[in-house]
């Protein structure tokens, strides 16, 4: 019997999904379907817009339909944790899941590949966080994943800045419970211009893990303080935003001679780690990167 043509959907097709709300903007389907095609796997990746009140039904439905797994994105990463049969230690520590693996008997296991994706993305451009002094903007889910990854990667100091300083301090309280925090200088603060300027001058790495600078609807989410008022020459600047691919933060950083990276490398490498969890195969990263570049027009 002839093998089904790669790209054809039939009764043997294995499915994975993206669960989020909304999902129309996602580049993950293009990235993963290109990877399946490259390896000749009869797998498909679809994106499903799931309202928060429907998430429990959606997760149960994937298992019932024989899906092999899923990615989970905003606003479901925290909510989904309590809906899974198992959660691996790293995801449990973060209190957030971005990847679900579904076994043959329908058991669901949650993982979080965001931190791995972040570190691999930096390494792609030759930056190691070992021994680095880091300024992290934000204290939400993305910032939390980045913060723990920074500690695991050996950062020597971390300053977390948030609109609400109490939330930044709460993130540091979580970090202090990790063995990786031993010997690391941890500070929290708000969007104060003088404080930010001092932190940026001392930083080897600046990471924006907020939505500031992101295109939303007909406009761009503003920064609490424009980057040109506090950013300094010198640090590697990473903005997890990738729409637009060149934010005001990155434009300012480049004008100062800083090395820069947007959020696409993190998206690529967290996706590659998820791919490996689902399929047991090493992800074809170059193929996924090419698909991302095509989908984003970069």
The Cα–Cα gap between 172 and 187 comes to 8
Among residues 77, 107, 216, 294, the one annotated as catalytic is 77
3-state helix, strand and coil shares in percent for the chain, rounded to the nearest 5: 40, 20, 40
CA angle 94, 32, 75 (to 5 degrees): 35
Q: What whole-number distance in Å separates Cα of residue 284 and Cα of residue 291? A: 11
Contact present, 28 and 276 (Cβ < 8 Å): no
Q: Please indicate whether residue 24 is annotated as part of the active site.
A: no
All residues at 6 or more sequence positions from 89 whose CB lies less than 8 Å from its CB, including other chains: none
* Alpha-carbon gap, residue 26 to 33, rounded angstroms: 13
**Beta bridge pairs of residue 261:** 238
Kindly state the tokens that stand for 98: 């971005």
Q: Give the residue numbers annotated as catalytic, written as ranges.
A: 77
């Amino acid at each position: 019997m002839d093998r089904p043509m790669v790209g054809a959907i039939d009764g043997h097709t294995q499915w994975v999904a993206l669960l989020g709300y909304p999902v129309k903007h996602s580049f993950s389907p293009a990235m993963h379907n290109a990877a399946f095609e490259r390896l000749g796997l009869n797998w498909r990746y679809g994106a499903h817009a799931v309202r928060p009140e429907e998430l429990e039904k959606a997760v149960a439905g994937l298992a019932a339909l024989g899906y092999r797994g899923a990615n989970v994105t905003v606003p479901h990463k925290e909510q989904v944790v309590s809906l899974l049969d198992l959660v691996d230690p790293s995801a449990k520590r973060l209190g957030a899941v971005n990847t679900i693996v579904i076994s043959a008997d329908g058991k669901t296991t949650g993982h979080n590949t965001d931190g791995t994706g972040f570190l691999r993305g930096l390494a792609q451009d030759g930056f190691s966080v070992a021994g680095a002094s880091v300024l992290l903007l934000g204290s939400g889910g993305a910032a939390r994943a980045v913060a723990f990854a920074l500690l695991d990667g050996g950062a020597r100091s971390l300053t977390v800045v948030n609109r609400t300083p109490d939330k930044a301090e709460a993130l540091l309280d979580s970090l202090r419970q990790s063995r990786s925090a031993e010997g690391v200088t941890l500070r929290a603060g708000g969007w104060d211009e003088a404080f930010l300027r001092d932190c940026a001058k001392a930083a080897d790495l600046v990471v924006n893990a907020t939505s500031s600078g992101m295109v939303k609807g007909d406009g761009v989410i503003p920064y609490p303080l424009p980057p040109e008022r506090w950013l300094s020459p010198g640090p590697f600047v990473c903005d997890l935003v990738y729409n637009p691919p060149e934010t005001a933060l990155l434009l300012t950083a480049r004008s100062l001679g800083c090395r820069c990276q947007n959020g696409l490398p993190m998206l690529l490498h967290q996706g590659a780690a998820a791919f490996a969890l689902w399929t047991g195969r090493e992800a074809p990263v170059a193929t996924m990167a090419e698909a991302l570049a095509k989908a984003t027009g970069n």
